[in-house]
Amino acid sequence: MANRRAKEARILLADNQSRVGSFDTLRLVFAVLVIFSHSFVLGLGPNASEPLYQLTRGQVTLGSLSVWAFFCISGFLITQSWSRSPSPLKFIHRRVARIYPGYIVAALFGALIVAPLAADPMSSPAISPLDFLMRTILLKEFRSQHVFSHNAFPYALNGSLWSVPYEFWCYIGILLLGVAGMLRRRWFVAALFAAVIAWHLYLSITVWVPGGKILGVIFGFPLFWATVLPFFLAGSLFHLFGGVTLLRKRLMIAALVILIASNFIPHALIVTLPLCGSYLLLGLAYLPLLRPLNLGRFGDFSYGTYLYAFPIQQLIASYGGGTMEPVKLFLLSAPLSVGVGALSWFLVERHFLSRSPSLKPATSLVHYAAICLAAIWNAKNNLFSTGARISTDGAATRGSPVEAASQTAE
């Protein structure tokens, strides 16, 4: 019986290394798709010309779909990581080591390099080092007034960073569920998954946009949670209910048909994308199709690519006059973003991970953070020397249009 079930579920797997490579491949592909999607909004402004946006009649963009895929893959891998090593200290150390080093360097890159290049020479906005420090610790996007003011998507320094704190909070959620023993009660997680989808469906039908007040400031915008959390939980459930043993070719075909049909039913994608879309995505990760690519054989460049692509695209658009044809912007920015993502991996990220046997695992995140903070404070007197000044009284600029703009960025 067990052999028959394994035979029915089998989708020709290679060894564990190639399976990991498939996920790395998918993540890099989706990071590039985010660049392609952003090429439309950053190159021209409106989202209307984005291909998937048109195909789904304004419901989904390639950028949002790719971000949801990131959450789904993370849900699967992070839950799997906890199951294999249910140690709270090791778990949180690995998650911090994966997220913070690359993020801190990307934030410094934005503040010390991109912002001075993007600042309006006619303005001199006040920038608070303390505000920058706190936002970086909280994984919040660093914001500056009067950057890219003449771009098609103005005042946005790095709109892609909005998703990082949501992902980190998802990690904390898995930690809490794991410590409480709730991950062993997989039907509880399934009920939570259904409840979040129902909540998103309700928000969509009623067109209600809850602000979240103080909890929203701390934990994130409620509507964003309703959007991303179902995909993370879908990945978690895929692991909890058996992983690859759940895959059936007939079910994958049925999921694809349902997904396509639901595009023509109002609000249906809210239900079918986390269910059918996540099932198809995780099934794709185990298909032989991606093995020859094995884009993860040199490292995981997807995180760095995602972190740096937005400001790189904004700079290219800025030096192109503020607007640019999307395909041209994509062709110019994608190779450069992947290249910078590779540098981020080799120079920063991999040194804090124990994944490679040739590298020592990070033993002092505090030491690394101290170096980064020293860079911030040493730059206090010359930050944005081309068009900005430091606010010595610690007052951060408020009310930038990017406050609203970043709420719609992928």
pLDDT score of 408 more than 70 = no
Least confident of 120-129, 164-173, 391-400: 391-400
Cβ 284 vs Cβ 26: under 8 Å? yes
Q: How confident is the model at residue 354 (pLDDT cuts 50, 70, 90)?
A: low
| 360 in a structural domain | yes
Domain that holds residue 125: 16-240+288-405
Per-residue pLDDT, 195: 97
Query: Who wins on pLDDT, 148 or 406?
Result: 148
CA distance 313 to 164: 19
In terms of Cα–Cα distance, which of 309, 269, 281, 302 is closest to 409?
309
**268 in a domain, yes or no?**
no
Instruction: Report the candidate in 103, 82, 83 with the shortest Cα–Cα distance to residue 94.
Output: 82
Total number of domains in the chain: 1
3 state DSSP class of 354: coil
- Determine, yes or no, domain membership for 171: yes
Return the pLDDT at 190. Answer: 97
E-strand stretches of 190-291 = none
Q: What are the pLDDT digits (tens) for 278-296?
A: 999 999 999 888 888 888 8
Between 214 and 338, name the one with better pLDDT.
338
Report if residue 4 sits inside a domain.
no
Write down the pLDDT at residue 380: 44
Higher pLDDT, 379 or 99: 99
Q: Residue 386 above 70 pLDDT?
A: no
For the stretch 150-180, pLDDT in tens is 999 999 999 999 999 999 999 999 999 999 9
Would 158 be classed as within a structural domain? Answer: yes
Rounded Cα gap, residues 63 and 67, in angstroms: 6
Distance CA 153, CA 147 (A): 10
Q: How confident is the model at residue 353 (pLDDT cuts 50, 70, 90)?
A: confident
| Percent of the chain at pLDDT exceeding 70 | 79
Quote the pLDDT of residue 48. 57
Does any domain span residue 269? Answer: no
How confident is the prediction for the chain on average, in pLDDT? 83
Q: Is 182 in contact with 83 (CB distance < 8 Å)?
A: no
Which is higher by pLDDT, 209 or 409?
Answer: 209
pLDDT at 123: 66
Q: Is 248 exposed, middle or buried (0-12, 13-18, 19+ CB in 10 A)?
A: middle
pLDDT > 60? residue 358: no
Q: What is the pLDDT of residues 53-69, one digit of tens each?
A: 988 988 999 999 999 99
Position 335 in a domain: yes
Residue 271 has pLDDT above 50, yes or no: yes
DSSP sequence for 30-96: HHHHHHHHHHHHHHTS-STT-HHHHHTTSS--HHHHHHHHHHHHHHHHHHHHHHH---HHHHHHHHH
Domain contains 59:
yes
Both tokens assigned to 24? 């790395």
Which residue would you say has higher pLDDT here, 378 or 168?
A: 168
